[in-house]
């Protein structure tokens, strides 16, 4: 796609006319604003003279144009400002005055030292949607600590879930915490824009990576511990079953989840009629012995 075609597509997106000042770095914030740009927003990416760190951590056509940087910053306009200098900070505030969204990924103390906290920015633009992309929530004990995808994967319990699967703690092969938190920052910002559309009110949004990922993991892995008293362990058995995996066949692997009762009946009638037994007939029965079910499927493959 040519640059002109890309620009035309952005103008037609649902965020057409939304102006975003993007003071984020690495992946979480830039991923959120990349999607905004894809959806038609005009995003101004503000970098320090040294550049965003993702410029240098993967291969690319130039020493300062790594593939990760190019991917999560596509469709944006780049501006270099040294915000420790009063003149450059004044230029940023001029951009903010006409913006709909200001989004940053600095720690609370750091952004306050620059005079760019919510109180200062909303004084310039009261209708602004101001989004904080933090590592940890401001009310928590780690609020002033740096956060990275690996440390957040460990702290939110994801590496422990991998241990249940593989026998030892491990990371997943994707920077999942960065991207999930980025998508959360995206929808939280868009919801704030929707609120402003209805009321005219700007507001501050806070998206901490740790709390976001903890909530993400607890959707299924809180499981029995969700209740008082607890009714089971803090994991979803189906997701951490050792036999849950793609199954080897003569010409490759098959990913299968024979879930509801209809699918189970059709599968067993076609492949293993002897499995049509009273103790495996319903979803509730199979859920209580899910690792056995996966083990049978593994033997069959």
In this prediction, residue 1 has a pLDDT band, given cuts at 50, 70 and 90, of very low
CA distances (Å), origin 147, targets 119, 152, 218: 24, 7, 20
Q: Where are the extended beta strands (E) located within 94-238?
A: 101-104, 129-134, 203-208
What span, in angstroms and rounded, lies between the C-alpha atoms of 280 and 287?
9
Residue positions annotated with a catalytic role? 178
In this prediction, residue 169 has a pLDDT band, given cuts at 50, 70 and 90, of very high
- Domain ranges for the chain: 3-218, 241-300
What span, in angstroms and rounded, lies between the C-alpha atoms of 66 and 289?
47
64-102 tens-digit pLDDT: 999 999 999 999 999 999 999 999 999 999 999 999 999
**Nearest-10 crossing angle of helices 158-166, 209-221:** 40
What span, in angstroms and rounded, lies between the C-alpha atoms of 165 and 258?
20
**Nearest-10 crossing angle of helices 28-38, 176-199:** 50
What span, in angstroms and rounded, lies between the C-alpha atoms of 157 and 177?
11
3-state SS, residue 125: coil
231-287 tens-digit pLDDT: 999 999 999 988 888 988 889 998 888 889 999 999 888 888 888 888 999 999 999
3-state SS, residue 128: coil
22-53 tens-digit pLDDT: 999 999 999 999 999 999 999 999 999 999 99
CATH class given for the domain over 3-218: alpha beta
Burial of 196 (0-12, 13-18, 19+ CB in 10 A): middle
pTM assigned to the model:
0.91
Residue 246: DSSP 8-state? P
């Amino acid at each position: 796609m040519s640059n002109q075609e890309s620009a035309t597509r952005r103008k037609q997106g649902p965020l057409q006319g939304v102006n975003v000042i993007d003071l984020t770095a690495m992946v979480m914030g830039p991923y959120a604003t990349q999607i905004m740009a894809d959806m038609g927003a005009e995003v101004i990416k503000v970098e320090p003279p040294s550049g965003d760190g993702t410029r240098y951590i993967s291969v690319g056509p130039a020493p300062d144009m790594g593939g990760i940087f190019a991917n999560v910053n596509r469709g944006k306009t780049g501006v270099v400002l040294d915000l420790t200098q009063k003149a450059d900070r004044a230029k940023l505030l001029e951009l903010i005055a006409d913006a709909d969204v200001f989004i940053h990924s600095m720690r609370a103390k750091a952004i306050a030292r620059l005079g760019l906290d919510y109180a200062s920015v909303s004084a310039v633009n009261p209708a602004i949607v101001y989004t904080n992309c933090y590592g940890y929530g401001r009310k928590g004990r780690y609020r002033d600590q740096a956060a990275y995808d690996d440390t957040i994967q460990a702290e939110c319990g994801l590496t422990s879930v991998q241990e249940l699967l593989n026998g030892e703690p491990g990371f997943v092969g994707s920077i999942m915490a960065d991207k999930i938190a980025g998508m959360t920052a995206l929808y939280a910002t868009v919801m704030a824009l929707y609120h402003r559309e209805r009321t005219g009110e700007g507001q501050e949004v806070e998206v901490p990576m740790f709390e976001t990922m903890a909530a993400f993991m607890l959707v299924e892995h809180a499981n029995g511990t969700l209740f008082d008293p607890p009714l089971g362990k803090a994991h979803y058995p189906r997701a951490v079953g050792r036999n849950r995996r793609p199954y080897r066949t003569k010409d490759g692997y098959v990913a299968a989840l024979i879930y509801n009762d209809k699918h189970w009946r059709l599968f067993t009638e076609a492949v293993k009629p002897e499995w049509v037994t009273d103790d495996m007939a319903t979803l509730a029965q199979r859920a209580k012995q899910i690792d056995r079910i996966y083990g049978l499927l593994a033997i069959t493959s």
